[in-house]
């Protein structure tokens, strides 16, 4: 019977176990949004995971919304990610990059002077976003994308995927959750367009479908995954019918041969999102959110998911796989050092000890 320690194949990737490190923003990139040597060490320490999925990474300067988050659109960033990939591969691990364009969830002070804040519609994000000093401030009003501009945004994602592969990264994951640009297109309250990119669920999923298609064409579908969280309200999301929206999305991308659907599994009134995914998606599923080792083994044994991802547990436990295997107690993460905004700050980042 399969458990979290058994190998699994996700698309083109052969994982040595089913314990995946979930993407987590840590605000430690260098002054040019490049991965640093400290970031390479952080990921190297956690390379015993079956797969690491990196923190959300900007596909373009316009996609940045938070301070000290890394990009994959400039040569210095590609070189930085090459150090990260080499460090993980040196430990026998695999690493995928989460591509994260924040859209309207952006603070002007966090972006380059010539970078725009864009969205499907000119509707501001209602949730405050931390600025460079960590103090949350209201996001700026986004500019609604003209229809003819959308292909260019999708092309930026495809270029980012090619850059990731050039850096040695094994795969990419499209971030379609947390109220960022893809979810802004998906959600009926943030997408008020009346053209072919808005209105019906079929139109609202089009941006995600075409972006995933472009990523698959750029680096191969077996190296492309996507992350969703139906019903989440973070960053002002309030879809009128998330079950319809995500069923439409899943059916539209099911035949593409993509590597995985990464589900943040939260409670929803009227439907269970894991059941929804399993009903409309025939590919591999990564389950995430509030899992213990026991719950993770159960969801795999029951065939509800093919792999499981852990976030906070990996922060304080770089040797999480070994601790699970041996039954060693888990250390607790220090929330005060989650986001320091300093590229050379090892506190709460690379200084957590291994068990024993």
Which secondary structure element, helix H or strand E, spans residue 260, and what is its range?
strand 260-264
Q: Which residue reads 């996700």 in tokens?
A: 10
Query: Of 73, 33, 252, which Cα lies nearest the Cα of 155?
Result: 73
Q: Half-sphere exposure (CA, 13 Å, Cβ side) for 23?
A: 28
Phi, psi of 20 (to 5 degrees): -110, 135
**DSSP label at 266?**
-
Token pair for residue 30? 């260098």
User: What span, in angstroms and rounded, lies between the C-alpha atoms of 52 and 44?
Assistant: 10
Token pair for residue 228? 């969703």
CB atoms within 10 A of CB 240: 10
- Pairing between β-strand 8-10 and β-strand 13-15 as defined by DSSP bridges: antiparallel
Contacts of 16 (CB under 8 A, 6+ apart): 7, 50, 92
Instruction: Note if 180 is an active site residue.
Output: yes
DSSP-based three-state secondary structure for 10: strand
Find the catalytic residue in 43, 157, 180, 246.
Answer: 180
User: What span, in angstroms and rounded, lies between the C-alpha atoms of 192 and 240?
Assistant: 12
Active site residues: 180
């Amino acid at each position: 019977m399969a458990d979290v320690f058994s190998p699994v194949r996700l698309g083109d990737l052969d994982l040595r176990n089913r314990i995946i490190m979930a993407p987590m923003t840590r605000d430690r990139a260098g002054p040019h949004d490049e991965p640093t040597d400290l970031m390479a060490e952080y990921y190297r320490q956690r390379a015993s995971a079956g797969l690491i999925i990196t923190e959300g990474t900007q596909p373009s300067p316009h996609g940045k919304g938070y301070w000290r988050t890394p990009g994959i659109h400039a040569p210095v960033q590609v070189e930085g990610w090459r150090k990260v990939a080499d460090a993980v591969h040196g430990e026998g691990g695999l690493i995928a990059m989460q591509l994260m364009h924040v859209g309207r969830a952006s603070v002007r002070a966090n972006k380059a002077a010539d970078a725009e804040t864009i969205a499907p519609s000119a509707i501001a994000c209602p949730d405050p976003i931390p600025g460079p000093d960590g103090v949350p401030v209201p996001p700026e009003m986004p500019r609604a994308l003209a229809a003819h501009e959308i292909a260019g945004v999708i092309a930026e994602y495809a270029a980012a995927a090619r850059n990731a592969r050039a850096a040695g990264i094994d795969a990419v994951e499209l971030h379609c959750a947390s109220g960022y640009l893809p979810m802004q297109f998906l959600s009926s309250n943030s997408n008020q367009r009346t053209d072919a990119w808005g209105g019906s669920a079929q139109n609202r999923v089009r941006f995600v479908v075409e972006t995933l298609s472009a990523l698959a064409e750029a680096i191969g579908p077996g190296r492309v995954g996507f992350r969703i969280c139906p019903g989440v309200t973070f960053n002002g999301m309030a879809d009128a019918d998330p079950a319809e929206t995500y069923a439409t999305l899943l059916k539209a991308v099911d035949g593409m041969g993509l590597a995985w659907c990464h589900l943040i599994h939260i409670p929803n009134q009227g439907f269970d999102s894991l059941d929804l995914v399993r009903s409309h998606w025939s590919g591999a599923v990564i389950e995430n959110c509030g899992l213990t080792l026991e719950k993770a083994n159960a969801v795999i044994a029951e065939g509800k998911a093919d792999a499981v991802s852990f976030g906070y547990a990996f922060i304080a436990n770089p040797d999480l796989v070994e601790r699970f295997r041996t039954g060693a107690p888990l250390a607790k993460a220090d929330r005060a050092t989650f986001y320091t905004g300093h590229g050379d700050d090892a506190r709460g980042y690379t200084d957590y000890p291994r068990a024993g």
